[in-house]
Amino acid sequence: MGFYQLAGNALASVIQGKTSLVGATIGNIKVPQKVKKRMYAALCQTIQKAKMLLYIIDNSLIISGQHKIKDTDLLVILNDLFFARGGIAHDSEDPVLKKLVFYHKNKLFKLMKATKTDPALAPKAQIKFNTLKMSVKDVISLFETQGYKFIDTVKYSEFQSKLQHKSKKFGLDTDLTDLLVFPSGTDLILHELYLNGSIILQDKASCFPAFILNPEPGSTVIDACAAPGNKTSHLASIMNNKGKIFAYDLDNNRLDTLIKQTNLAGCNCIEARCSSFLDIDPNSAESAKIDYILLDPSCSGSGIVSRSNDLVDSLISTYIQDRKFDYQIEVQTQIKPNSATRIKNLSNFQTRMLLHAMKFPNVKKITYSTCSVYHQENENVVENVLSSQTDFKLANQKLVLQEWPKRGEQFKSSDNLTPTETSPSVAKSVLNNLNKDEQCSLVRSSTEEMYTNGFFVACFFNKNHFNKTEYIDNPRRKITKFVEEQVEDISDSTNIADKEISSIESIKAEHNTVKVESPKENNVNKGSKQKSKTQLQTKQHPKVESSTKDTKQKIKTLPPKTHAKKSTVNTVAHSGKKDATQNSSLKRKNDQSNAAKNKSKKRIRTPITLK
């Protein structure tokens, strides 16, 4: 089996949910060792362009009716045809696929040019330089000595004209003072500055939460859903390692990645804790010292289009949404990644997390962010918390990236809704009551306009710590208690992509020099991990417990005859089970007794214990 056929099978297993991206490539025993890394890289690049490639496959109809060839078989080879430096591999493998593609080559290229600009090709390779290790001047000088050309500041609107694909040019971002922008196709994974923690590869929009929160040096901060740690290290950089950052996450593996990455970045003001943010007592003495909270909770990931370690959800959604062809593979899912039920569950969870953050008595600022484009996870969550309490208000636009053009929205659009949200009953919950000033306070970002991932940020000020001119007060808003809507239970509301992050970041971390924790820190971490596991066990299935109680109550209220009948059946069944157990026990004793007699006849003096 050739490389492209193996890659197609690996991609199919990821889409079907049988394994992770890493498991399908690096951990796949069917993939030869010498091509594992090549296949992993090929799949990452292919997934980034999956939407465009599937459009070409569906409109070319070159495999329609050919039941032996699936669309997943063509994705990687088409990606190489259009975007790989050397094109399709020149070898004798996969002759059928290559013959098919070369025969329709002109048609495929024509369709490719007819599609909209691929977001993955838009110049948007961005890196955040770590001021704890190097100054911006030193970073720029080093890149210049390596043949890169610095072109001063670059606006997002100038990306296409100033930074051509794979050119060795770079510039300083105009919105974020610690961000450098490189053309797409720039690979810095093995660069010395990345390996020693001097630069961090991070999408521009995901730098917004820490930049907007802007905690003062010496303050105490909580990063509520911290792993894998990019935003945490950004906070430490802004604070110049002065103060304290408590980094919370429930996943042990991802928290280990956070510890490795932040140690590598030279952060020494971070205390990682394996625990749920919701389990923190906001009225404790420690909580009274918290000044700032960064909250970036689990979300649908519907805005992500570029990071390979977060793309699995987007891939599955792209593959199954509005597509039905004879050459598709079967995808068995209990609930679609971006279904209305899942979004509603996430929205409830996000609102609960944000309201919990607002219970900390001395918190001055809170940033809430998601990598989602859906209103229910963004503006509606903001509306929910503003209508549920009176202490926290949205910050004035002047204090939240004032010049950024894309702001919050009130009315829904088809691009920002799940397919089932168009029904009247659901549409009502998607609209919000934010006034114009409140909408302008919110920050949105999109791939099509800003060349970043789809992102959303809201900044809340505690009105007891700021002047009235610094926050927005909406006198028409009615305060009501937030009540979660009852929806179908989902056992795990986190992204499928979240499971990819720890694996991929761990692979990257293997190349890095990691600062080893002291024994004292290790003991603290182990204790917190054990505690969090106990908490998880006691809170595993609350809905199941409640449903069991309800069932018992219903049985008690049944009519006497029906209840007696059911009880009789249960008694008989239990009695039969008891008799069967007794018979098997007697038979075992007889067998053992006979064995003892036989041994005694042979004069074996070994003592025998009868069970």
Residues tagged in the binding site annotation for S-adenosyl-L-methionine: 225-231, 249, 296
Catalytic residue among 274, 371, 440, 459, which? 371
Angle between helices 105-114 and 95-103 (to 10 degrees): 60
Can you read off the two tokens belonging to residue 93? 């493998």
Residues flagged as binding site: 225-231, 249, 296
* 371 labelled catalytic: yes
Q: Taking Cα atoms as reference points, which of 63, 72, 65, 71 lies closest to residue 99?
A: 63
* Residues ≥6 apart with Cβ < 8 Å to 146: none
* Residues ≥6 apart with Cβ < 8 Å to 406: 443, 444, 445, 446, 449, 450
Q: Taking Cα atoms as reference points, which of 314, 321, 319, 328 lies closest to residue 500?
A: 314
Phi then psi for residue 220, to 5 deg, are -115, 125
Distance of CA 373 to the CA centre of its chain: 14
* Three-state secondary-structure class, residue 310: helix
Does 228 sit behind a cis peptide bond, omega within 30 degrees of 0 on the bond before it? Answer: yes
Report the C-alpha gap between 56 and 165 in whole angstroms: 22
Report the C-alpha gap between 149 and 308 in whole angstroms: 27
Report the C-alpha gap between 52 and 529 in whole angstroms: 43
Report the C-alpha gap between 470 and 465 in whole angstroms: 10
Q: Taking Cα atoms as reference points, which of 53, 125, 62 lies closest to residue 83?
A: 53
Parallel, antiparallel or unpaired: strands 270-274 and 244-249: parallel
CB atoms within 10 A of CB 589: 12
Report the C-alpha gap between 338 and 307 in whole angstroms: 18
Calculated CA dihedral for residues 532, 535, 537, 540, nearest 10 degrees: -110
* Three-state secondary-structure class, residue 544: helix
**Residues with active-site annotation:** 371
